[in-house]
Amino acid sequence: MRILIIEDDTSLVRGLKKALTTAGFAVDHETNGAEAIEIAPSEAYSLIVLDLGLPGLPGQEVLRRLRNNGCEVPILILTALGEVKDKVKCLNLGADDYLTKPFDLDEFEARVRALVRRGKGRPDPILRCGSLLLEASSATAMIGEKPLSLRRREIAVLEILMSHAGRLVRKERLISEVFGFDEPVAPNAIELYIARLRQKLGPDGPAIKTVRGLGYLMEDR
């Protein structure tokens, strides 16, 4: 899952990026609201984290333009403004949630996951496909009673495939959701993660089928 952070406080962004990448998200960062408005519709974001106190174009105007341009991605507001009237205005402009600085990173991550699930129409934090269960928030995957040892990127790929179980997921979509702008992507990176997942899922887990030239499909055996 891929997240766009629109925030000019570089020290805060470093902390947020570290927490989110550790949790399995790919993260892009913009400090300029106008540029973020141009980027957001062209990428497969699961969430936008937006600071209100941006230089130049204010965060509330960025929010208004994103929604007016048809952006339906969930938006989490970060701000030092804690008054009710500020929250009400942002929610009325189309924000999905509001977090006042300073905040706890665990609460931030929990809100991020809740908004991502809500945006994808699956409020249950546990994904299931046959005997396979995945709880992404704790990076826990199990086949029956057997825990699986998965790396961060393997969890990210697995979450996307399980979210679309029974449906084709194009390779390009996997790349766009798993890797951020500034991350180098080897030509066979996705194939490598798929091969590792197949090996770890084994005969007892769901099958990951290759649809040649298109992408991958997960289905219960």
Task: Give the CATH number for residue 50.
Answer: 3.40.50.2300
Q: Are residues 167 and 102 in the same domain?
A: no
What CATH code is carried by the domain that includes residue 194? 1.10.10.10
pLDDT at 201 over 90: yes
Taking the whole predicted model, whether its pTM rises above 0.75 is answered as no
Domain of residue 14: give its range: 2-119
Tokens 């699986």 belong to which residue? 148
- Summary mean pLDDT of the chain: 89
pLDDT score at 135? 87
Tens-place pLDDT, residues 18-41: 999 888 888 999 999 999 999 888
Per-residue burial over 56-94, b = 16 or more CB atoms within 10 Å of its CB, e = otherwise: ebebbbbbebbeeeebebbbbbbbebeeeebbebbeebe
pLDDT at 122 over 70: no
pLDDT score at 60? 92
Last residue of a domain, one of 72, 95, 119: 119
The pLDDT confidence band at residue 123, using thresholds 50, 70 and 90, is low
- Provide the sign of the torsion angle of the four alpha carbons 26, 30, 33, 36, taken in this order: negative
What is the rounded average pLDDT of the residues 127-152?
89
Pick the more confident residue, 106 or 182: 106
84 Ramachandran zone, left/alpha/beta (phi>0; psi -120 to 50): alpha
Instruction: Look at the chain and report how many structural domains it folds into.
Output: 2
The pLDDT confidence band at residue 198, using thresholds 50, 70 and 90, is very high
Last residue of a domain, one of 79, 104, 119: 119
Within a 10 A sphere around the Cβ of 117, how many other Cβ atoms?
Answer: 20
Q: Residue 74: is the preceding peptide bond cis (ω within 30°)?
A: no
Q: Are residues 67 and 158 in the same domain?
A: no
Instruction: Tell me how far apart the alpha carbons of residues 219 and 35 are, in angstroms, rounded to a whole number.
Output: 39
What is the rounded average pLDDT of the residues 70-89?
87
Q: Are residues 86 and 194 in the same domain?
A: no
pLDDT at 88 over 70: yes
- Provide the sign of the torsion angle of the four alpha carbons 147, 152, 154, 155, taken in this order: positive
Distance separating the N- and C-terminal Cα atoms of the chain: 25
Beta carbons of 170 and 182 less than 8 angstroms apart? no
The pLDDT confidence band at residue 124, using thresholds 50, 70 and 90, is low
What is the rounded average pLDDT of the residues 101-117?
90
Q: Are residues 165 and 112 in the same domain?
A: no
pLDDT score at 51? 93
